[in-house]
Amino acid sequence: MVSRTVRRAFLYGEDFATGRDYSHRKQWIVDRIDLLSKNFAVDICAYAVMSNHCHIVLHVDYTRSLSWSAEEVVLRWWQIFTPKWLKDDPEAENKDFHLKRLADDEEQVAIWRKRLADLSWFMRCLNEPIARMANKEDNCKGRFWEGRFKSQLLLDNAALLTCMAYVDLNPVRAQMADTPEESEYTSIAAQIEEKQGIEHKNKPATLVPFAKNYKERLHKKTEGSTLLCLPIEQDEYLKLVDWTGRKIKEGKRGAIPAHLAPILQRLEINEHEWVDGVEYFGRRFYHVIGLLRHMVTERIEQGKRWLKGQGAVKQLYQ
């Protein structure tokens, strides 16, 4: 997912045209992602908040929302759209009464349940409050975001890993940081700080955990429920992204180190195309990304004769 500000102005970064620094707004976005991920049926895999746009890699799990009770749906909705009476008095005595009354409204609960597992509603609940807060701070009106967010469908683990690396390396490619750990307001910087036991410079959004070993799949069954985990160990991912970022920064490709190559081979990624695939991900791929066989399946399901980007997929994925 990508959202850009109007005219691509640095409305949550340092605006060199006006000399004003709006970097504090990046924390607004991270905090909002954190809140929404805890209440929507959504898992955050990666994010990067830049100066005029932000990237989010996420997974929507509609089936999870079906397991919520009516009361839980109402409570989750209240966390995002808090009624005025509840804002004024969080410990209101009539809270339980209103909760039961709304939970008994099956039609309304069904609407909220569907919205809490909807990508468009997630982005709406992310972008609208940020725009209102920024306009209030600037004492102005009008559009803050360029338009509707842009999204790409990731069909498999190979596409997921490539997209995550692309997002995590945004500051490196933009020459805002030399290494991933120096990148602020990114998921990978938060992961590195957490791993090193360093106090977070910025509160990280709730992130999907990495696999504990390479045999774990995207969905891991645990005690009868389905949990999401990334298809790679954390140490493997950090080393791979660090090496990739250095190669992008140097402008030299070089061979993938032997201890990193098997990671790509397991996910059916062409190691010789890996760095270019990550660096130019936004230009090479379009609405649907994945191994060719998965793209063919998706194309058939959509009733199309061709999906844009299949040529690039043939190069990057085995």
What is the pTM (predicted TM-score) of this model?
Answer: 0.89
Give residue 236's pLDDT: 93
Residues 6+ apart with CB under 8 A from 135: 141, 142, 144
- 219 has a pLDDT exceeding 50: no
Q: Helices 234-250 and 157-168, interaxial angle, to 10°?
A: 60
Return d(Cα 281, Cα 286) in angstroms, integer.
9
Q: Which two tokens stand for residue 116?
A: 């809490």
Give residue 130's pLDDT: 95
Return d(Cα 244, Cα 278) in angstroms, integer.
8
Q: Strand (E) positions, the chain? A: 2-4, 42-49, 53-60, 153-154, 219-222, 225-228, 288-289
User: How large is the average pLDDT for residues 166-184?
Assistant: 89
Give residue 224's pLDDT: 41
Q: Considering only CA atoms, which of 287, 18, 279, 257 is closest in space to residue 169?
A: 279
Q: Considering only CA atoms, which of 150, 122, 159 is closest in space to residue 287?
A: 150
Q: Strand (E) positions, 254-300? A: 288-289
Q: Which two tokens stand for residue 40?
A: 């929507």
pLDDT band, very low/low/confident/very high, at 216 (cuts 50, 70, 90)? low
Q: Considering only CA atoms, which of 43, 35, 116 is closest in space to residue 73?
A: 116
pLDDT by residue (tens digit) across 134-144? 999 989 888 89
Q: Considering only CA atoms, which of 234, 187, 244 is closest in space to residue 214?
A: 234
CB 234 within 8 A of CB 283: no
Measured at the alpha carbon of residue 273, what is the angle toward residues 232 and 248, in degrees to the nearest 5? 85
| 199 CB-contact burial (10 Å; exposed 0-12 / middle 13-18 / buried 19+) | exposed
What is the enclosing helix (H) or strand (E) of 137? helix 119-138
Return d(Cα 113, Cα 115) in angstroms, integer.
6
The residues pairing with 48 across neighbouring beta strands, listed in sequence order, are: 55, 186
Q: Which two tokens stand for residue 249?
A: 């920064």
User: How large is the average pLDDT for residues 231-241?
Assistant: 92
CB 299 within 8 A of CB 307: yes
Return d(Cα 61, Cα 313) in angstroms, integer.
26
Return d(Cα 173, Cα 187) in angstroms, integer.
16
Residues in the chain: 318
pLDDT by residue (tens digit) across 98-120? 999 999 999 999 999 999 999 99
What residue type is 48 in one-letter code?
A: A
Residues 6+ apart with CB under 8 A from 146: 3, 4, 5, 6, 7, 8
pLDDT by residue (tens digit) across 246-264? 898 887 777 889 989 999 9
